[in-house]
Structure 1
Amino acid sequence: MKKLYLPLFSLILLPLASCDQEQPVLQKQEKTPLYFGSVLIQTEADITPRATGAQWEADDAIGIFAVNHQMPLEEGNIFDGSENVAFTTQGDGFFYPKGKNIYYPEGDASIDLIAYYPYDESISGYAYSIDLTKQTEFFYSNNLQDISKAKGGARTLEFRRPLTKIVLNITPKKEGSTLDGLTVTARGALVRGSFSLAGGTLKADETSTGDIELAVSGSSTQKQASGMFFPTGQPEALTVDFTLQGKTFTWRPKEILQGGKAYRYTIELDGLESTAALSTSYMEIPAYTSGGTAPHSASALHMVGDKDWLNPSYTVNNTSIRNYSILYDTENRVPYWVAYPMHSMYLGDAGRTEEWDYDPIISPKSVQPTLYNGWSSMTYNRGHLLASADRNATRVLNETTFYFTNMAPQDKDMNSGPWAVLENKVREWCKQSAYDTLYVVTGCILPESSQQYTYVNDNNQKGSVVPKYLYKALLRKQKNGGAYTSIAFRMENADTKSPYYSNIVSVETLEQETGFTFFPNLPADVAKEVKKNASQSPHWN
């Protein structure tokens, strides 16, 4: 089976119909066949595409079922015998029937379409069998509904990956060591199951425990191993063996592995050492440039719980929604950074809750400052890195911005002045309809040496370092054309009265100063150009 590569842009379909130019009025109208474009949807940026910007390969085939509108996929509801109809592409992302056509229904009737990859002519019971020992991709689409000739319009299949993907970036711990001959095997994984095309649900066979050989690529000093797995709430059952030069090192993930997400980890061999990278498939989460994790750090990924508050126009189906991520400096007791998506769905009028409290994920509590009553010096505010106003759709959501790990000692005049103006501008940018989700990283830059540190005490008379600068790195993508654009701001933590637009730097410059790689999931060739921008015009006015 050929590997699948999907474009990240939507391909527009123009339905084709035969037309007799000599007798247009008298020509009998024939049935109109359906053709399709395709796109791989990154739900909330949870999935990293296999090859950004690449195309399908010629002769890749998908299967499509057409059912009468609002009817379940089952016998008796199939439209015009259109059951598991094969469509293929020449590699351009457009799919055409391999043999049998699927036609628009006549009159006012409409249909719903369900598609999957890769095509299996022997499929039965509307369930697709999955064998992960073969490590074959599986994608599913059910977005095309209420399709009729009268409505016409684009016909783009939006494919999603229901499985979990794990990516391991592997380096030798000892300088001069080689990774040549490395093999990576996942043990204790569930390897067989099925996907219900009718219900859109994935189910693993709990008795099908086995081994999965992960594909390994790369150089002698840096390898990458990746594989697909069934989602699991028991990650401790899965172990990964790294075998090199007769030695075997064993590692296991600690996270609950959710479907439709990619998890990335850094692995150092020679006395195995591994660090989770906070599911860096999220576009906004930085990577520590030196590899591994930053010194004396603790991380937390805060997710949205109850989603009933969401605007009905924002469809999330059964997907999870992240709130924000944080990398916390447990020694200096300030955040390295807080990373979060900005979208109008997070904004509302719930107001400030003032529910100051410890971050429930980062432990022990003693590494966090106690800030119920603010800092000991009135010069500094409890400066939110993720602003309260950025998460005020509900009271519960707003409460999460008052965790002590989201605070830094911030000059009160800078906080209420230029910094507040910049925060308001970020909220304006996230509402601009010409762009997709805005990704933001807000962080602290400490003085260059510890001899220059200034400390301010919390309510227990324990000190936190006062940052020299606060910064924001931003990235977003144009809806029309898909081009990315970035900008960054670094503002001195003092009452300089210098406006935000006088403190623009490039993301590239900020990376060099902080030691973090921002937006690491950008393709390398794209990132090189995008991160150079240090101008407001034309995208950040």
Structure 2
Amino acid sequence: MNKYSLSMIFAASLALAACSNDNEPATPDDGPVAAQVNASIEGTMTRASGTEWETDDRIGISTLGNTLTQYENIPYRYDGTKFSPADDAIYYQDAQEQVKFNAYYPFDGSAGIIPTSIEATTSADYQTAEKQSGIDFLFANGAIASKANPTVNFTGDNAFRHCMSQITLTFIEGSNMSFPGSLTAYTLKGLKLSGAFNPQTGIAQPTETASVENLGITLSDVTVNDKRTYTASPVILFPQDMGGKIGIEVTVEGQIYKATLTIPESKSALEAGNNYTWPVTVSKTGMSVGQAEIKDWTPVQGDGTTAMM
């Protein structure tokens, strides 16, 4: 056989091999696929302090159920645009399985071990803009993803939700009253300020044996708008049974005015995820509390009451 015949046979063999490869199905990629995370907060993209997710915020992500992909308390960090692994990523271990996830904020402990309890206090020291995010516990659960669809969407019905309660007071100048320089403080009475958050269940509650305390908030740089009102920064509290009422004292020009906040809808307790807002009118002769509203953090309406000095 001459060299030309050999060359032709070799070329024909290559052509047959090429045809055979074209007809074979593509082999699935068995390489690792990392989870991607998309997260929003129920009802709003904001946290308690009125800010969006902040750079370096960390959430803890865990898988649920009996799957090959099993992770516990894996921190993901917000870089200003998206959440990415703070250290090691979550990788799907089986191409066929659907993996369910939950998550909480703010991250605590270490990767691989999810805490059963994160203790906290809602005292005045933690009601500042700098520290309040540390007690604004959030929880998300039920997001499902897979190797084929790797993005874990903590959005919609699976979005992060607030696990604490919030109170926002709007003070209204009554007759013969001027707030700038004179409205200096208010106190919410009879609260349990110590408690814990369970990042496995999303339940936040006061410590059963905690003593009842008063929460005193100092007000500074008080200004009023054209409606002669001043809205104080919200405070975050553990959901708790208050017997339907919360005592309030407001200090104006050194004088203490007293009233009662009535939890709306005939409810006995402050409930998780609700922002209770009350208008409080202060006059020289006394103070009145208007109807409350529950805003989103979820908005409630309550009966007005009048208080005297």
**Normalising by the residue count of structure 2, what TM-score does the alignment of the two structures yield?**
0.68
Q: Secondary structure at the match of 2:80?
A: coil
User: 1:105–1:148: 8 Å Cα contact kept in structure 2?
Assistant: no
Name 1:161's counterpart in structure 2: 162
Q: Secondary structure at the match of 1:143?
A: strand
Matched, 1:223 2:236: no
Q: 1:511-538: per-residue Cα shift (whole Å, max 9, x none)?
A: xxxxxxxxxxxxxxxxxxxxxxxxxxxx
Name 2:294's counterpart in structure 1: 279
Matched, 1:115 2:103: yes
Q: Which of 107, 121, 125 is residue 131 of structure 1 equivalent to?
A: 121
User: 1:59–1:88: 8 Å Cα contact kept in structure 2?
Assistant: yes
User: 2:205–2:239: 8 Å Cα contact kept in structure 1?
Assistant: no
For residues 161 and 78 of structure 1, do their structure 2 counterparts lie closer, same or farther at Cα, with a shift above 3 Å needed? Answer: farther
Q: For 1:213 and 1:91, locate their aligned partners in 2 and report how far apart those are by CA, in whole Å.
A: 34
For residues 124 and 215 of structure 1, do their structure 2 counterparts lie closer, same or farther at Cα, with a shift above 3 Å needed? Answer: farther
Matched, 1:66 2:41: no
The structural deviation recorded for 1:103 is 1.3
Name 1:268's counterpart in structure 2: 281
Name 1:200's counterpart in structure 2: 202
Gaps of 5+ in 2: 1-25, 128-134, 304-309
Within a 5 Å distance, the mapping from 1:324-363 to structure 2 comes to none
Q: For 2:219 and 2:231, locate their aligned partners in 1 and report how far apart those are by CA, in whole Å.
A: 6
For residues 282 and 206 of structure 1, do their structure 2 counterparts lie closer, same or farther at Cα, with a shift above 3 Å needed? Answer: closer
User: 1:263–1:281: 8 Å Cα contact kept in structure 2?
Assistant: no
User: 2:206–2:240: 8 Å Cα contact kept in structure 1?
Assistant: no
Matched, 1:212 2:197: no
User: 2:69–2:91: 8 Å Cα contact kept in structure 1?
Assistant: no
The structural deviation recorded for 1:50 is 4.3
Q: For 2:106 and 2:152, locate their aligned partners in 1 and report how far apart those are by CA, in whole Å.
A: 23
For residues 278 and 55 of structure 1, do their structure 2 counterparts lie closer, same or farther at Cα, with a shift above 3 Å needed? Answer: closer
Q: Which of 31, 46, 54 is residue 57 of structure 1 equivalent to?
A: 54
User: 1:68–1:79: 8 Å Cα contact kept in structure 2?
Assistant: no
Name 1:359's counterpart in structure 2: none
Name 2:147's counterpart in structure 1: 149
**Aligned residue-pair number:** 250
Q: For 2:164 and 2:39, locate their aligned partners in 1 and report how far apart those are by CA, in whole Å.
A: 19
Within a 5 Å distance, the mapping from 1:142-541 to structure 2 comes to 142-145=141-144, 147-152=145-150, 155-157=153-155, 158-175=159-176, 177-180=178-181, 182-208=184-210, 209-214=212-217, 216=219, 219-221=222-224, 222-225=229-232, 226-235=234-243, 238-255=246-263, 256=268, 257-270=270-283, 271-279=286-294, 281=296
For residues 120 and 149 of structure 1, do their structure 2 counterparts lie closer, same or farther at Cα, with a shift above 3 Å needed? Answer: same
Matched, 1:83 2:80: no
Q: Which has the higher contact order (CA 8 A, sep 6+)?
A: 2
Q: For 2:218 and 2:99, locate their aligned partners in 1 and report how far apart those are by CA, in whole Å.
A: 40
User: 2:46–2:53: 8 Å Cα contact kept in structure 1?
Assistant: no
What amino acid is the match of 2:120? I
Q: For 1:280 and 1:29, locate their aligned partners in 2 and report how far apart those are by CA, in whole Å.
A: 48
Q: 1:42-84: per-residue Cα shift (whole Å, max 9, x none)?
A: 2xx9x996477x5322111111122335xxxxxxx8954x222
Q: For 2:299 and 2:262, locate their aligned partners in 1 and report how far apart those are by CA, in whole Å.
A: 22
For residues 211 and 48 of structure 1, do their structure 2 counterparts lie closer, same or farther at Cα, with a shift above 3 Å needed? Answer: farther
User: 2:115–2:200: 8 Å Cα contact kept in structure 1?
Assistant: no
Q: For 2:177 and 2:166, locate their aligned partners in 1 and report how far apart those are by CA, in whole Å.
A: 30
Q: For 2:68 and 2:28, locate their aligned partners in 1 and report how far apart those are by CA, in whole Å.
A: 30
User: 1:66–1:78: 8 Å Cα contact kept in structure 2?
Assistant: no
Q: 1:177-217: per-residue Cα shift (whole Å, max 9, x none)?
A: 12435112223211122233333333321332223344757
**Normalising by the residue count of structure 1, what TM-score does the alignment of the two structures yield?**
0.41
For residues 215 and 258 of structure 1, do their structure 2 counterparts lie closer, same or farther at Cα, with a shift above 3 Å needed? Answer: farther
Q: For 1:243 and 1:144, locate their aligned partners in 2 and report how far apart those are by CA, in whole Å.
A: 47
Q: Secondary structure at the match of 1:276?
A: coil
User: 2:73–2:114: 8 Å Cα contact kept in structure 1?
Assistant: no
RMSD: 3.5
Q: For 1:300 and 1:224, locate their aligned partners in 2 and report how far apart those are by CA, in whole Å.
A: 18
What amino acid is the match of 2:72? E
For residues 142 and 283 of structure 1, do their structure 2 counterparts lie closer, same or farther at Cα, with a shift above 3 Å needed? Answer: closer
User: 1:129–1:194: 8 Å Cα contact kept in structure 2?
Assistant: yes
Name 2:132's counterpart in structure 1: none
Matched, 1:97 2:97: no
Name 2:20's counterpart in structure 1: none
What amino acid is the match of 2:54? E
For residues 153 and 205 of structure 1, do their structure 2 counterparts lie closer, same or farther at Cα, with a shift above 3 Å needed? Answer: closer
The structural deviation recorded for 1:283 is 9.0
What amino acid is the match of 2:95? G
For residues 284 and 232 of structure 1, do their structure 2 counterparts lie closer, same or farther at Cα, with a shift above 3 Å needed? Answer: closer
Q: 1:91-132: per-residue Cα shift (whole Å, max 9, x none)?
A: 22x211111111123132333222111111268642232321
User: 2:180–2:223: 8 Å Cα contact kept in structure 1?
Assistant: yes
For residues 86 and 49 of structure 1, do their structure 2 counterparts lie closer, same or farther at Cα, with a shift above 3 Å needed? Answer: closer
User: 1:179–1:223: 8 Å Cα contact kept in structure 2?
Assistant: no
User: 2:260–2:289: 8 Å Cα contact kept in structure 1?
Assistant: no
Gaps of 5+ in 1: 1-24, 70-76, 286-298, 302-541
User: 2:274–2:299: 8 Å Cα contact kept in structure 1?
Assistant: no
Larger of the two Rg values belongs to structure: 2
